[in-house]
Amino acid sequence: MAKTITEINEKIKRGKAVVVTAEEIIEIAREKGIKKAAQEIDVVTTATFGPMCSSGAYLNIGHSKPRIKLGGGRAYLNDVPVYAGLAAADIFIGASALPDDDPRNKVHPGEFNYGGGHVIEELVAGKDIRLVAITYGTDCYPKKKLETWVNIKDINEAVLFNIRNAYQNYNVAANTSNKTIYTYMGVLKANLGNINYCSAGQLSPLLNDPYYQTIGIGTKIFLGGGIGFVAWQGTQHNPNVPRTEQGVPRGGAGTLRVIGDLKQMNSRWLLGSSMLGYGSTLTVGIGVAIPILSEEILGYTTVTDSEIFAPVVDYSDAYPNMKPDILGEVSYAQLKSGKVTIRGKDVPTASLSSYPKALQIAGILKEWILGGNFQLTEPVAPLPGVESGITFKPLKERPIE
Amino acid sequence: MVVSKRIVLRFPKRIVERPIVCRLVKDYDLEFNILKALVTPEEEGLLVLELSGEQEEYDNGIRYLTKTGVKIQSLSQDVMRNEERCTHCGACLTICPSGAFELDPITRMVNFRNEKCVACGLCIKACPPRAMEVHF
């Protein structure tokens, strides 16, 4: 029955493709069986919508008159420092950058109400952004100071470039200490007062393609409400982790690096966010369409929350101190029930990633494909798989004498 | 009939030092639970109360407060969710001490029941997209 992406694209063009979400496929496969479902279904859409700190955007603001060389100087967007170590008119803003005068955690927990993620949201929303730069003058770039409003519609390029997004599974966070802690996994109450998790589970892109058989470099995706592409594996991409019999990683594993034109995205799907006591970030919406090229590929998309397990990590000790110990392993079905049992205690659970929004993204991507507006792509190279031998290394610290 | 309502009281500067709320107990047989109290640098007082008692006494008590010059608002209008910013992630669920957020097990949407809200403000900063807003 093996189909090709070209054949599926032909069907999309003719409006004949059968497209379902990664949630819908579960029931369909249960009713019809994998074999029949694989014959009938052409595409399964997956999605995730959660805070992703390794997100950012590069901009080319155009040349001022007289010219200014931002590279080597300092530049700010709405007081948030941006990276100016490139050529004259190029800057990069990271989601977790903070204004120099933000008090951080001086009064703990800091609020982090405005950072790079918020600048990106406002830029995409079409708001004017204040650019301030100070640099040195040269014969060809004499201007040393710049203060101007910039708007996404006027600048040459604005490109979202997230070096690590869409984690394939993730830690579940708990706190065994006797005080509340404030982490990138949210507010964690003392003495196992609550548990936070952050994955779309059965809807998450890489959990539906656990061995990266269809998602690869060059894959076209839904990114922030527009079109984007997988540019590379994300940083910390780590395929060599323990997996279940069905191949599902039992913890954080693969990641995606994604890129796309910010000018066609929507701030509904790129939301500046603040993690109390931790920092600012960007909540990113990503959707990936999986072409059903074989029964095996369809089989992987039928994964359910009860088959995906994640380690419960103590963020008061094991996580900060790089200890490997875990408090246990729980499934996303258990997490979504509202409570899990850890060390004999019923602990209430909450999510940081939005399942309803992920479901909406999977639905939008499905509509795009059904409407003939989104053709699937053949990856130009695969993401490194289990055979790559990649391992996730800690920092090798060497004292400087 | 016993009623229980959560209200926001604003005390203008001139009456901030007068004993007023205690009269609700002595004269009107009402019970109160202070949810939040604040005196601003301008010396205006703000008090968020859960006030309960017999309907008739409750109404008399409110009339008394109004007469003294206290401005009264009902609380449920003061804590709001910005629906544009809420992503229904659920980060607020385990933070709220009064269970004002409920997760719909089917849609996984988070419902905000502001009648259960005690205006403690814990959700405001625990919400990553800052969708919860308190207006006093």
| Strand duo A309-314 + A186-188: pairing | unpaired
Across the interface, do A274 and B95 touch by the CB < 8 Å criterion?
no
Name the pLDDT band for A336 (thresholds 50, 70, 90).
very high
B83 and B100 both lie in a single domain: yes
| Among the partner residues B89, B95, B126, nearest to A351 by beta-carbon distance | B89
A136 and A221 both lie in a single domain: no
Residue A1 pLDDT greater than 70, yes or no: no
| Rounded Cα distance, A285 and A255, in Å | 15
pLDDT of res. A260? 98
B71 and B102 both lie in a single domain: no
Give a yes or no: residue A399 inside a domain.
Answer: no
Give a yes or no: residue A180 inside a domain.
Answer: yes
B23 and B89 both lie in a single domain: no
A195 and A151 both lie in a single domain: no
User: Percent of chain A at pLDDT above 90?
Assistant: 99
Across the interface, do A271 and B94 touch by the CB < 8 Å criterion?
no
Give a yes or no: residue A390 inside a domain.
Answer: no
Across the interface, do B108 and A359 touch by the CB < 8 Å criterion?
yes
B96 and B34 both lie in a single domain: no
A126 and A225 both lie in a single domain: no
Cβ distance A381 to A218 under 8 Å? yes
A321 and A342 both lie in a single domain: yes
A48 and A63 both lie in a single domain: no
How many domains, in total, are found in chain B?
2
Q: Which domain holds residue B65?
A: 2-77
Give a yes or no: residue A394 inside a domain.
Answer: no
Residue A373 pLDDT greater than 70, yes or no: yes
How many domains, in total, are found in chain A?
2
pLDDT of res. A78? 98
A344 and A293 both lie in a single domain: yes
B67 and B99 both lie in a single domain: no
Residue B75 pLDDT greater than 80, yes or no: no
> In whole numbers, what is the pLDDT of chain A averaged over residues?
97
Residue B77 pLDDT greater than 60, yes or no: no
A133 and A114 both lie in a single domain: yes
A177 and A269 both lie in a single domain: yes
- CATH number of the domain residue B32 falls in: 3.30.70.260
B84 and B68 both lie in a single domain: no
Name the pLDDT band for B136 (thresholds 50, 70, 90).
low
Cβ distance A8 to A297 under 8 Å? no
A73 and A219 both lie in a single domain: no
This prediction has a pTM of 0.91
The CA angle A296-A299-A305, to the nearest 5 degrees, is 145
- CATH number of the domain residue B127 falls in: 3.30.70.20
Q: Which domain holds residue A144?
A: 57-160
B24: phi then psi, degrees, rounded to nearest 5: -60, -35
Q: Which of A118, A267, A276, A335 to mutate to test the interface with B (most CBs of B within 10 A)?
A: A276
Please check whether residue A163 touches B, CB under 8 A.
no
Please check whether residue A281 touches B, CB under 8 A.
yes
Q: How far is A112 from chain B (nearest CA, A)?
A: 9
CA distances from A361 to A355, A357, B15, B125 (A): 10, 6, 55, 26
Q: List residues of A with catalytic annotation.
A: 140
Name the pLDDT band for B87 (thresholds 50, 70, 90).
very high
Which of B77, B104, B124 corresponds to the end of one domain? B77
B62 and B87 both lie in a single domain: no
B33 and B22 both lie in a single domain: yes
Give a yes or no: residue A14 inside a domain.
Answer: yes
Tokens representing A184 are 């990138």
A175 and A148 both lie in a single domain: no
Across the interface, do B91 and A274 touch by the CB < 8 Å criterion?
no
A243 and A331 both lie in a single domain: yes
B60 and B98 both lie in a single domain: no
B41 and B6 both lie in a single domain: yes
Q: How many CB atoms lie within 10 A of CB A376?
A: 19
pLDDT of res. B6? 86
Which of A138, A160, A182 corresponds to the end of one domain? A160
3-class SS at A124? helix
B10 and B47 both lie in a single domain: yes
pLDDT of res. B78? 72
Tokens representing A385 are 């798989």
Q: How far is A273 from chain B (nearest CA, A)?
A: 4
Residue B37 pLDDT greater than 90, yes or no: no
Encode pLDDT of A19-69 as tens digits.
999 999 999 999 999 999 999 999 999 999 999 999 999 999 999 999 999
The complex scores an ipTM of: 0.94
Name the pLDDT band for B48 (thresholds 50, 70, 90).
confident
Least Cα distance to A165 among A89, A81, A253, A53 occurs for A53
Give a yes or no: residue A401 inside a domain.
Answer: no
Local structure of residue A268 (DSSP, 8 states)? G
Residue B11 pLDDT greater than 80, yes or no: yes
| Strand duo A216-217 + A90-94: pairing | unpaired
A334 and A286 both lie in a single domain: yes
pLDDT of res. A289? 98
Give a yes or no: residue A77 inside a domain.
Answer: yes
The CA angle A15-A20-A239, to the nearest 5 degrees, is 120
Tokens representing A295 are 């029964």
Give a yes or no: residue A253 inside a domain.
Answer: yes
